[in-house]
Amino acid sequence: MKGVCMKTAKIVVDPEFRIGRVDPRLYGSFIEHLGRAVYGGIYEPDHPAADDMGFRRDVLELVRELRVPIVRYPGGNFVSGYNWEDGVGPKEGRPRRLDLAWRTIETNQVGTNEFAEWARRADAEVMMAVNLGTRGIDAARHLVEYCNHPGGTYYSDLRASHGVKRPHAIKTWCLGNEMDGPWQIGHKTAEEYGRLAQETAKAMKWVDPSIELVVCGSSNRGMPTFAAWEETVLEHTYEHVEYISLHTYYGNPDNDLGTYLAKSLDMDAFIESVIATCDHVRAKKRAKKTIDLSFDEWNVWFHSRESDERIEPWSVAPPQLEDVYTFEDALLVGCMLISLLKHADRVKIACLAQLVNVIAPIMTENGGPAWRQTIFYPFLHASSYGRGSALALRIESPRYETKEFGAVPFLEAVATVDEEAERLTVFAVNRDQEEPLLLDGDLRGMEGYEVLEHLVLESDDVKARNTAKHPDAVTPHSRGDAAVRDGRLRAALPRLSWNTIRLGKRR
């Protein structure tokens, strides 16, 4: 882009500006018994690519490509009406149930043991949710015993009789889902949920003291219960849990791209508000323990809402929440990934919701192909290269005006450093709709680093999508021009682009 007069954004990269270690679980995801996430997504026994258990090998390959370390299961709204016993034992004896959350029929052909095996084949851990909507302490403690106890008790021996002798050893557990939402089966007040979660947590940890627990925060930042809910729930559960959950989804129904790409600023504020509430309760309790965050549902979700209203009720695995993502969606997902990394000191778990077909980076056709959606690529780059420690950048960027957020910087960026591997990665989004942005980086304290690769995701069409017929309409390239000269990183970030600049130390 020589000869083009560009706006300039300056950053300072310094190893002393350390935010915290990036927990690998920051790149987690979510599979719910919803739509075609399970049936027709990860599981399709009649598919040509099905393995010995009916799991699609092509989907497994794409999941492993994303390096997803943990997957939340089985819900979501679904879990609040789920009897886990329906999904274990001989398949021919499993009941077909009405799923009230999504008004479908659940066949229970995939349950706890099948999903745990799928996760093993995907190189991922299971993040198991328990039903605190229609059920409670007993069902939760029995499920922990079934999954984690080695043997010699009723539920551990029941697991062994189902062909699974070794325990699943599931470490991370969610205490229900979105319990302040009126749409939730078994919706509760903060006091009701806080007491139930406290007693359930105690019993679960008495069965297995090694587990970690996630308590439900508000369903989203816009809930009238937000913040007061978190405070009340944590006052009950602070001593018994390790994490509190956050959920958020963003959309662009008004087709205002400038505001849409600034939605990650709302995500930043949401995270910081929950941290403040956690620390407020910590101060009130004079506690030494710190509660961290599990952002276990986040994504873009708005494309499919109209079509979902026309779904025939009580069908099996209908196409629900199947957002077909655009290039502009990928840019916002990139900004949201940067938000998570900017709070890596407190956000330890995050789950892109969801993983296959349902608001997902991976799409499939029943009996047909699987392909990568546009949002697959920022997640892939962050999961592949955003390891080690997150670094806060000192950023000076020109800005643009929005109705909702006021002045918004064109540059959104963060860096990670893996000192053992001597790798530095800068993730950057240029929100400018008209022009490229010159990135001028001061590599303070990062002497000897050179650019290994500059990956760019860009498109002339912000509405471009990847489909079964055109799976590569939006894909990244490695023709970025980033280079280090005289201790400064220079790069031209194309207009509306996601950039992954990988640096390594000269040997």
Strand partners, 483: 490
Q: Alpha-carbon Rg of the chain, whole angstroms?
A: 23
Instruction: List the structure tokens of 114.
Output: 């099948």
User: 151, exposed or middle or buried, with CB in 10 Å at 0-12, 13-18, 19+?
Assistant: exposed
**Inter-helix orientation angle 190-207/137-148, to 10°:** 30
Six-digit token string for 225? 């219960």
Catalytic residues: 178, 297
Report the distance separating Cα 400 and Cα 380, nearest Å: 29
Tokens read off for 433: 């709709």
Asked whether the beta carbons of 337 and 352 are under 8 A apart, the reply is: no
Using CA atoms, how far apart are residues 57 and 42, in angstroms rounded to an integer?
Answer: 8
Q: Tell the burial category of 193 from Cβ atoms under 10 Å away from its Cβ (0-12, 13-18, 19+).
A: buried
Spatial CB neighbours of 384, under 8 Å, sequence gap ≥ 6 = 67
Burial class (CB in 10 A: 0-12, 13-18, 19+), 6: middle
